[in-house]
Structure 1
Amino acid sequence: MKQHAFPFVLMATLSTNLASATLSEYRFYGTDYRLNSGREHFAAYVLKSDPCITVDVIKGSKKRYCELGSSGINLERDAPSVYATNITVDVSGVRFIAAAPWNEQECSIDVYNEEITCAATGKN
């Protein structure tokens, strides 16, 4: 029995290290987990290596959102001066603030229509 315990402990330790390395790549990760079904339909995330918000519809499409509607702001092009913050994910979609020193935007992603809309908050 002790002979088998060592490989299991080593394997569990390696799995934990792998998972934490993967998790360390994310700045934000959220899903629309639904209590009534016990499932989620999509996930939204921001990687440390990519300032854009990626929405991954489970059993569907995956899309990066960089261009913020008609605001002229682009999370990828304008990083690190502009970044997504206060990100919330629920069954209705993804909402966030695009912190921009010259024109902060409040944005909403319609996950299923793959559309993003933004409006100036009036804050700089």
Structure 2
Amino acid sequence: MKLIAISLLLFSSTYIYAEDIEHYEYYQTWKELPEDESMGAVYIKSDDPCIIVANKSKGTKKRFCELLPSKLNLESDYPTIFPYMLKFDGVVLEFFVVAPWNEQQCKIDLNKEVIHCESNGK
């Protein structure tokens, strides 16, 4: 009987884990150095096109929708614009935003929690 209860618990938790992953388009933890403990996470949920930065050390969570200074907005202009090629450079998240009329190259400083975007001329 105990074996059945343990099996049900293991299978149900695996199912819940797999279901939760489906709610994210992108998820990445960030560290200053590979051997360091995670300082937070950056993610995009399936139902929210904005980039969310959860800073564990500050205890904050911030949504980045408006692409300053261009004033393009991931939330209101979605699905016409969207982020792609997200990558970390230390504590800076770099990415491009596809926009048919003004593609952007953006950076989010994860410590300062600020965004800056520039047109890349495409």
Q: TM-score range by the shorter chain?
A: over 0.9
Q: Displacement, 1:12?
A: 0.6
Structure with more strand by fraction? 2
Amino acid at match of 1:42: G
Show the counterpart of 1:61: 60
Deviations 1:48-76 (A, max 9, x none): 10000000001421100000001120000
Matched residue of 1:16: which SS? helix
> 46, 49, 53: which is aligned to 1:48?
46
Matched residue of 2:72: which SS? coil
Counterpart-to-counterpart distance in 1, 2:55 and 2:99:
28
Amino acid at match of 2:101: W
Correspondence list, 1:12-27, <5 A: 12-27=10-25
Contact 1:25 1:47 in 2 (8 A): yes
Contact 2:91 2:111 in 1 (8 A): no
Q: Displacement, 1:91?
A: 2.9
Deviations 1:69-114 (A, max 9, x none): 0112000010000001111135322111111011000000011212
TM-score (norm 2): 0.92
**Which consecutive residues of structure 1, in runs of 5 or more, have no partner in the other structure?**
none
Contact 1:44 1:89 in 2 (8 A): no
Number of equivalences: 120
Structure 2 residue 87 is the aligned partner of structure 1 residue 88? yes
Show the counterpart of 2:4: 6
Q: Displacement, 1:35?
A: 2.5
Q: How much is the aligned-residue C-alpha RMSD, in angstroms?
A: 1.2
**Which consecutive residues of structure 2, in runs of 5 or more, have no partner in the other structure?**
none
Counterpart-to-counterpart distance in 2, 1:89 and 1:44:
10
TM-score (norm 1): 0.91
What percentage of residue pairs aligned between the two structures are identical? Answer: 35
